[in-house]
Structure 1
């Protein structure tokens, strides 16, 4: 019997959720994209429902990857998609006007999921936009009482996306081991 786990990707529009899932999915990703009408963001399409992909791990487990819509007006989908998720990947676009405020939005919007599962933060476009730094992101997470890895990650690079997933899985394994001890 194959073990299956649901992993949720979230972040602002244009942060790379659809791209990250497509970079590693072993099945043709499902996308619910429509033409973008938000003139503030130079992007042709935007996710309005969810993205979906799958990846099989070396141990035979299958990760089902779900991506949330990034626009705040679709935040009602966040709690629906979060149901049953084993972990959360938050993608932050460091080139946005206020990436720390964006981080606040997702740490608050997914606070229940973060409190009960593992979380990892991937900050994109760090090479061209090095500020705020990863330490700044970590300090903001600390204000929310969130302790999890925060790394620079390029959603186009399958190695970076798998690094995010591996960090998430290490946390989950550690959490399971600690629960067994108690």
Structure 2
């Protein structure tokens, strides 16, 4: 489980792709805290750490993860948001996240609003039905509050801390981002749907 509070901005060192998936190698100051087999959220996708050497470690990314996320678009030099799995004795500062990306969105607008930056993201209506104003959503693994939503887009407002500590600070229109909606909304939908039949 994760909270969406990014712990480090890592750098992709290499991406080795073949027909079976991809192997990502990442460099991060978090490496000394990671053990073989630990879960790490990479741009919001829960992956298993392997091959830890110094400040570098790797991840095997299966085809399912490549299809459902933006990880397949990463190249050497890409900045990635990293979060270690939540410990049982830690404070839940963001919101409950599983690292199971529900889909992707495309940044369709960016505007400054005082010291914050408003980012508009377009995504599939099947995903937007779980997005509510003032609710939580994970964008590239960052826990954010939805500030506006309509039938095709939603807005999130980024404070200076988020702009500095995550890769969302360097985002641009057209960029693909990973989205994970609030898991509670999906459970409620399933339970209500079962009783409505």
Instruction: Give the structure-1-normalised TM-score.
Output: 0.31
Instruction: Give the structure-2-normalised TM-score.
Output: 0.29
Structure with the larger helix share: 1
Tell me which structure has the larger Cα radius of gyration: 2
Structure with the larger strand share: 2
